[in-house]
Structure 1
Amino acid sequence: MRGGAALALDGQAPVEADAEAPFYLPYGNEVAVFEQCHARRLAVLLKGPTGCGKTRFVEYMAWRLGRPLVTIACHDDLTANDLIGRFLIRHDSTVWQDGPLTRAVREGALCYLDEVVEARQDTVVVLHPLADHRRLLPIDKTGETVAAAPGFQLVVSYNPGYQRMLKELKPSTRQRFVALEFDFPELEREAAIIVRESGIDRATAHGLALFGKRLRALDQQGLAEVPSTRLLIAAAQLVAGGIAIAIACQVAIIAPLSDDAALVGAMQDLVAASFP
């Protein structure tokens, strides 16, 4: 569905959607698979490098399905209470306040936990009864067990390349999800995305996409993080605003990627060769 009221797959009344969908350019069967997961109440795990479009995909699917979206950025200090809720003191009494996960469960929203492995393991375990057939959220502090409303779906993402040797999802967690794998777009598709998101001409967008592809080959030479599509778009937006492409590449791509003098020099040489 495109714009207007989008009909939820669970049979509830239509939910008003934005007039324009978040831009997302599919590359395979990920949209159809996600729709079936939503219809069959299956949790979804998105795997892929940083900045390859995972978050935009979730935003697009929430629009397409006509569901509210609750996004949670995971980090080391994220606790179960941060997700579920806590008692707050107001005047001379205490009141319970739902956390974002609990709100999503009650409202039948899509709940997206970005970079879930950044959260502590004792926090991730809270997701288990929601990610399997039970679809329940126990709230120990109130004694309540909340059944997921129709339309609720749990979606998590992580970057397996970045987390290798650092953190990993436990098998007991992974096996509760249907996994969709993402990667950087192929050259022409990435150029089309850059054009759409920045407004620059096709030739310049193609050059930036090719530059990004060449930079990604430097991961074998010590570059910890390769340039994401997000970084290429940022450079393109600067170019669209009148910044010289070499400067745009320096400040939007090279500087965020590394402080190592040798790597920075190699990337600057690549800029000079790519945009003479």
Structure 2
Amino acid sequence: MNGVIDQYRVEQKPYYHTVADEVDLYEAAYGVRMPMMLKGPTGCGKTRFVEYMAWKLGKPLITVACNEDMTASDLVGRFLLDVSGTRWQDGPLAIAARYGAICYLDEVVEARQDTTVVIHPLTDNRRVLPLEKKGELIHAHPDFQLVISYNPGYQSLMKDLKQSTKQRFGALDFNYPEHAVEMEIVSHETGVPREVSDKLVSIAERARNLKGHGLDEGISTRMLVYAGSLIAKGVDPQNACRVALVRPITDDPDMRDALDAAVTTFF
């Protein structure tokens, strides 16, 4: 295998707790190289799922954290100056297409729409990536697959995918796991006892009920893992929850008081 792509291999098995039939569905989608879209709230396991599937399939994974300043050149590549003159450097999308990796565009709606248009030729029957500045047409490697993710509940009308983009993908919905599964995840990731993870998940569920009623986002599974990790290191549970769960998601004094009260109820 080309040394360029070896660095993107997922060497160790990531921990992922299957929630429904998402693993089987993704495997079937990869079998026909269907581009996939993962939809769900922040911190619910979308990225971990992609890492797990890349490991399970034995494919390299190139992850791009999208942002509003990202240009098409950041994805496909650009000419660079060095001591010998100019040389072409592939971007992450071009590397994945050329060598046969899974390319994961995380929070793709954060990128400008004129940037996301470059993925269109890769997500239909053409499976090509034009490098216009270089005058090259990359025909995607047979192992290449494109995966994107976004949080549909968090986007404004100004920040959403065009229908012409959405309809090029299959889609899997993700959400926070049910109580028992989320407890298992938090205990596994942090080493805290089940009674502690039970309390953490209960706090999160209360906060998630406030989404749209003062909170833009609920407490994510990722945040519960942060809190559990602090507790496992000997931090007082109430302090751990304030630092990892309450303070990051709101600056509103009344909302903080309500969440702090929930923490006090359980710890």
Q: Tell me the SS of whatever aligns to 2:37.
A: strand
- Normalising by structure 2, what TM-score? 0.95
Matches within 5 A, 1:27-38: 27-38=19-30
> Structure 1: which 5+ runs fail to align?
1-14
1:16 deviates by 7.8
1:39 deviates by 1.0
Q: 1:166 to 1:272 in 2, by over 3 A?
A: farther
Residue-by-residue CA offset, 1:189-222 (whole Å, 9 max, x unaligned): 0000000000000111111111111111111321
| Aligned equivalent of 2:109 | 117
Which residue identity lines up with residue 204 of structure 1 in the other structure?
Answer: V
Matches within 5 A, 1:103-252: 103-252=95-244
Is 1:60 the counterpart of 2:52 in the alignment?
yes
- Normalising by structure 1, what TM-score? 0.92
Q: Tell me the SS of whatever aligns to 1:36.
A: helix
Partners of 2:102 and 2:36 in 1: CA distance: 11
Partners of 1:220 and 1:42 in 2: CA distance: 34
Partners of 1:176 and 1:39 in 2: CA distance: 16
Partners of 2:84 and 2:192 in 1: CA distance: 58
Partners of 1:110 and 1:220 in 2: CA distance: 35
Which residue identity lines up with residue 241 of structure 2 in the other structure?
Answer: C
Partners of 1:270 and 1:67 in 2: CA distance: 43
> Structure 2: which 5+ runs fail to align?
1-7
Partners of 2:157 and 2:259 in 1: CA distance: 26
Find runs of 4+ consecutive structure 1 residues off by over 3 angstroms: none
Matches within 5 A, 1:15-54: 18=11, 20-54=12-46
Partners of 2:157 and 2:80 in 1: CA distance: 39
Partners of 2:244 and 2:161 in 1: CA distance: 31
